[in-house]
């Protein structure tokens, strides 16, 4: 029992370290430094498979917030694709949740283009992103349709 508690504490401490590294990722100006941090955290995912959901959530947030074609996104796609199926399923679920949050935020802020860019990014050579799109196909089509209607209304 004591060993299990000690292991849990070690895993929690490692998860917290990884999360702290990810929190500072946007502050790094050099893309190579950003990639190095992401790769280091992703290596840690494979060694701590028991308690990785919080770190995966942060990685998905980073994937969603970075601009299209950013090199960090390519590294994350590669890392997500190498995860075991249970973790991959979590990534797809979290991508879906984040996509819905972006849609809601776009409606409030008026930045409708970011939703379209995010959907396009999920389809860009990213099998888990495509799975997310497939799972929410009807909702995404409805959202895109409403966004296009708003674009047309604004440009008349």
Query: Where along the chain do its domains lie?
Result: 2-154
Smallest Cα–Cα separation from 34: which of 99, 80, 13, 42?
Answer: 42
Cα(first)–Cα(last) distance of the chain, in Å? 69
> Confidence band (pLDDT; 50, 70, 90) for 48?
low
pLDDT confidence of residue 89: 92
- pTM given for the model: 0.77
Range name among 14-18, 27-31, 146-150 with the lowest pLDDT average: 14-18
- With H, G, I as helix, E, B as strand and everything else as coil, classify residue 93: helix
Average of per-residue pLDDT across 49-58: 77
Do the Cβ atoms of 106 and 112 come closer than 8 Å?
yes
Find how far residue 72's CA is from the centre of its chain. 11
Would you say the C-alpha torsion 130, 134, 136, 142 has a positive or negative sign? positive
pLDDT at 140 over 50: yes
């Amino acid at each position: 029992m004591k060993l299990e508690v000690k292991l849990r504490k070690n895993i929690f401490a490692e998860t917290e370290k990884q999360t702290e590294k990810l929190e500072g990722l946007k502050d790094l100006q050099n893309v190579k430094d950003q990639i190095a941090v992401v790769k280091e955290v992703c290596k840690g995912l494979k060694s701590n498979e028991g308690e990785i959901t919080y770190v995966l959530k942060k990685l998905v947030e980073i994937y969603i917030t970075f601009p299209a074609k950013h090199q960090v996104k390519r590294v994350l796609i590669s890392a997500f694709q190498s995860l075991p199926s249970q973790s991959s399923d979590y990534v797809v679920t979290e991508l879906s949740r984040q996509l819905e949050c972006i849609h809601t935020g776009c409606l409030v802020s008026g930045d409708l283009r970011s939703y379209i860019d995010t959907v396009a990014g999920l389809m860009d050579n990213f099998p888990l992103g495509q799975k997310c799109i497939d799972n929410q196909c009807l909702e995404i089509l409805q959202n895109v349709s409403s966004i296009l209607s708003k674009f047309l209304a604004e440009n008349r």
